[in-house]
Amino acid sequence: MLSGKADDVELFIREVKACVQLQRGAFLTDEDKTLYFSLYLKSGTAELWYNTVQINEPALLTNFDSFSRAFFKRFKTTDLATKYLTTIEALRQTGSAASYTNQFLECLAYLYWTEETKLTQFNRGLKPDLLRALAFTKRDLTLDKWIPVVILTDDNLFEIDQELKRCGVNKPAQTSKSAQSSTANTQSSDHRPRCW
């Protein structure tokens, strides 16, 4: 069911088209497809639009692709680029790099950026620990080649953190240079447990 939110329109149309395709034999004409489409419209603006099309533009109901395009044009978010630019600029990795990547790529589909801009913005949202781990890694020239490197590095960091927790070693609370140098000055040898 279409909730009436403009952000849901594209997904809604894609889902209806997938259902139609999966039930090929059930829909013999485009009119059958548009009628099926109408069954998933909640009461409100979208349903009123469909009723208006039935009265004023019945020919549109005989061409499912044209009908879908007209529906999308009427109910889509008016400025997808601005919406997704704002979203991608605020996007930060809070879980795995794979999850962050999926969210980033979803937004990126609506933006037309150079590879350098894509890479720069992608890296801005990564966790600081991951950025440090990637600091000496040669960066590929395309986002498609860089993403697997980032995900693998993030997975490796996660495994190391899990192993350290298993061994009872906590992550340092401070990572500033002053904290590291004061620790280095007070300890002459490393007494941390070794697990590997």
Q: At residue 135, what are phi and psi to the nearest 5 degrees?
A: -55, -35
3-state secondary structure 123-170: HHCCCHHHHHHHCCCCCCCCHHHHHHHHHHHHHHHHHHHHHHHHCCCC
Provide the pLDDT for residue 121: 97
| The two three-digit tokens of residue 54, written as one number | 């039935």
Per-residue pLDDT reduced to its tens digit, 41-93: 877 888 899 999 999 999 999 999 999 989 888 887 667 778 889 999 999 99
Confidence of residue 101 (pLDDT cuts 50, 70, 90): very high
Strands (E), the chain: none
Q: Give me the mean pLDDT over the 22-32 stretch.
A: 89
User: Which of 21-30, 81-90, 97-106 tops mean pLDDT?
Assistant: 97-106
Provide the pLDDT for residue 174: 52
Architecture of domain 79-167: Orthogonal Bundle (1.10)
CA neighbor of 94 nearest in space, from 129, 66, 138: 129
pLDDT for 137 beyond 70: yes
DSSP-derived 3-state class of residue 61: helix
CA geometry: angle 29, 19, 72, nearest 5 deg: 80
Which residue would you say has higher pLDDT here, 24 or 78?
A: 24
pLDDT for 150 beyond 70: yes
The mean pLDDT value of the chain amounts to 84
Percent helix, strand and coil across the chain, each rounded to 5?
A: 65, 0, 30
- The domain limits of the chain are 7-75, 79-167
Write down the pTM of the prediction. Answer: 0.56
**Residue 17 to residues 24, 88, 176: CA-CA distances in angstroms?**
11, 28, 53
Residues 6 or more apart whose Cβ sits within 8 Å of residue 122:
101, 104, 143, 146, 147, 150
Provide the pLDDT for residue 77: 67
Confidence of residue 14 (pLDDT cuts 50, 70, 90): confident
